[in-house]
Structure 1
Amino acid sequence: MKARVTVTLKSGVLDPQGKAIEGALKALGIEGVASVRQGKVFDVEIPGTDRRTAEAALSEAAERLLANTVIEDYRVEFV
């Protein structure tokens, strides 16, 4: 089973890398970008076919390792 864990900064948390990317896009002449928020994506293959068990395992991985849950949110989706 393939899954994707997407980790992003929580709303309201300052994102200096996103701001730098936003400025670089404007410097490249790319107009109409209102804001940029950066994040991390983890593509994970997990054995088995039970989505509930897989989602629980991936949520635990995100809580304990992949995300800093004080300042980051995460989302688990199956692809």
Structure 2
Amino acid sequence: MKARVTVMLKDGVLDPQGEAVRHALGAVGFPGVEAVRQGKVIEIDLATTDRAEAEAEVKAMCEKLLANTVIEKYTIELA
């Protein structure tokens, strides 16, 4: 089973990388971009085929390592 985890900063947390991208987009001819939030996508191949087990395992991975849950939120997609 494959899992895709998307990690983003929580609303209200400053995103200096996103702001740098927004500024750069304006500089290269895209002045209408009002905000950019940058995050990360992590793809994981899991041995299990049990959906509930996979979701629990990936959630534990996020809580322990993949996301800083104080300032980041995450979503999990299983396929």
Q: Is 1:49 paired with 2:64?
A: no
Distance 1:15 1:31 in 2: 19
TM-score normalised by the chain length of structure 2:
0.95
1:9 counterpart residue number:
9
Letter in 2 for 1:74: Y
Percentage of identical aligned residues: 58
Aligned residues: 79
Report the aligned-residue RMSD: 0.9
What residue ranges of structure 2 are gaps of 5+ in the alignment?
Answer: none
2:47 is paired with a residue whose SS is coil
TM-score normalised by the chain length of structure 1:
0.95
What residue ranges of structure 1 are gaps of 5+ in the alignment?
Answer: none
What is the CA-CA distance between 1:33 and the residue it aligns to?
Answer: 1.3
1:12-31 correspondence to structure 2 within 5 Å: 12-31=12-31
* Cα-to-partner distance string for 1:37-72 (whole Å, 9 max, x where unaligned): 000110000012111100100000000000000000
Letter in 2 for 1:76: I
Letter in 2 for 1:41: V
